[in-house]
Amino acid sequence: MNRFFSAFCCAALLGSPLLAQHHHAARAAASAAMTDQQFIDMAAQTDMLEAHLGQMAADHASRQDVKDYAQMLVTDHTADYQQLSAMAQKNNFNVPKGIDAEHWKMVAPFEKLHGAGFDTRYIREMIDGHTKAIAVYTKEQTDAQNADVKAYASAALPTLQKHLDGAKGLLKKK
């Protein structure tokens, strides 16, 4: 599965067409009630996007600490996607198998960046994205209808916090 997911992300790099939309969606999701299926869709898209951007960082980032951080995100979000998929399958939810058009739009700005420009944008995106994800997951751990969805959201929060703290650390090192 790991190899499949990595291959999928790399192949997906070939097709891509603005970051604000994802954050607007996450913000709206955090304030509005989500169905469990909507949360699963959002969580899967987040995992796939973070893993994909992390793989891009291997080629585009200039700082080794940014590359190391990005590799951690590839590993963690790939594992999280697998946990999400298993939980969803057990409960008869659908899990997206590919990055949707809305999230592909978030990749496009990164394709034109290399070096320090990529590093800065990537770190800021990781801070913003993980801050918003934590808000959604925190809400879901109490508001989800399904007990397994609640447990999944709760279990994922420490990793999301680790990613947010790591990105903030990278920004300070700049």
- Tell me the pLDDT band of 31, cut-offs 50, 70 and 90: low
Domain assignment present for 19? no
Domain assignment present for 27? no
Please give the tally of structural domains in the chain.
Answer: 1
Q: What is the mean pLDDT of residues 34-63?
A: 96
**Which structural domain, as residue segments, surrounds residue 117?**
2-11+34-173
Element (H, E) at 93: none
- Tell me the pLDDT band of 11, cut-offs 50, 70 and 90: very low
pTM exceeds 0.85, yes or no: no
Domain assignment present for 23? no
Asked whether the predicted pLDDT for residue 131 surpasses 80, the reply is yes
**What integer best gives the mean pLDDT of the chain?**
86
Domain assignment present for 83? yes
Domain assignment present for 16? no
Which residue's entry shows tokens 């609640």?
Answer: 150
Q: What is the mean pLDDT of residues 95-106?
A: 94
Q: What is the pLDDT of residue 74?
A: 97
Domain assignment present for 168? yes
Which residue's entry shows tokens 């913003």?
Answer: 128
Burial (CB < 10 A; 0-12, 13-18, 19+), residue 30, is: middle
Least Cα distance to 67 among 119, 14, 113 occurs for 119
d(CA 46, CA 36): 15
Q: Which SS3 state, helix, strand or coil, does residue 61 take?
A: strand
Asked whether the predicted pLDDT for residue 10 surpasses 70, the reply is no
User: pLDDT per residue over 51-87, tens digit each?
Assistant: 999 999 999 999 999 999 999 999 999 999 999 999 9
Task: Say how far residue 170 (Cα) sits from the centre of its chain.
Answer: 18
Q: What is the pLDDT of residue 15?
A: 34
CATH code (residue 134): 1.20.1260.10
Any idea what the Cα angle at residue 166 is, between residues 132 and 61, rounded to 5°? 95
Q: What is the pLDDT of residue 119?
A: 97
Domain assignment present for 29? no
Asked whether the predicted pLDDT for residue 16 surpasses 60, the reply is no
Q: What is the pLDDT of residue 33?
A: 78
Domain assignment present for 167? yes
Asked whether the predicted pLDDT for residue 93 surpasses 90, the reply is yes
> Considering the chain, what percentage of its residues have pLDDT values greater than 90?
79
- The beta strand positions in 58-118, using DSSP E, are none
Contact criterion met (CB below 8 Å) for 22 and 61:
no
